[in-house]
Structure 1
Amino acid sequence: METTIMALTIDPRSAHAPQVQTVLTKHGCIIKTRIGLHETSSDSCSERGIILLHINSASDEVKDLEKELLNVEGVTVKHMSL
């Protein structure tokens, strides 16, 4: 098992977040922590979302998750193993 930190961006967030949520739910058992971020103010809400994941899993499962996320339009993924 490895500890992996994965960051993904979703742009536009409102259009692609439901597909990302489906992928994350499918792989939910390997995700220890999930933090979702987007800029907001009183009169607007950013269309660029950022999700940080703390994953504890074998590298092949992390690769499967990354591959499925990259299949969603508007998503980019970066990760590092610790």
Structure 2
Amino acid sequence: MNCYQIMAVRIADRGKSAVEVQRILTEYGCSIMTRLGLHDQSTPGTCSPSGLLVLQLCCDAEISKELEKKLSALEGVKAKLADLSD
């Protein structure tokens, strides 16, 4: 099991994609050790339509690649995996 994997997920339209992204993240919930959600809040009291998720994964490489592929298959969602293990 590799816990030195970081995945960045860019969501272009959170209103359109958030439900499906959340469903996929829930499916892989046991492999996600840390989740950080970022969005631009340039106007107080409003949310940006785009966002960025940073995930720390703790799982086998096959599982993290599968998660990356499923997220990237969604319209307006781009996922990139960085494996920092030796």
Query: What's the TM-score bracket when you normalise by the shorter of the two chains?
Result: over 0.9
Aligned equivalent of 1:55, options 57, 69, 75: 57
Where do 5+ consecutive residues of structure 2 fail to align? none
**Matches for 1:36-75 after TM superposition, within 5 Å:** 36-40=37-41, 41-42=43-44, 44-75=46-77
| Structure 1 ranges of 4+ moved more than 2 A | none
Structure 2 counterpart SS, 1:79: strand
2:62 & 2:45 partners in 1: Cα distance?
43
Tell me the residue number matched to 1:31.
Answer: 32
Where do 5+ consecutive residues of structure 1 fail to align? none
Q: Sequence identity, in percent?
A: 40
34-43 or 21-30, which moves further after superposition?
A: 34-43
- TM-score norm. by structure 1 comes to 0.93
Query: How many aligned positions are there?
Result: 82
Tell me the residue number matched to 2:78.
Answer: 76
Tell me the residue number matched to 2:5.
Answer: 4
Two-structure CA RMSD over aligned residues (Å): 1.1
- TM-score norm. by structure 2 comes to 0.89
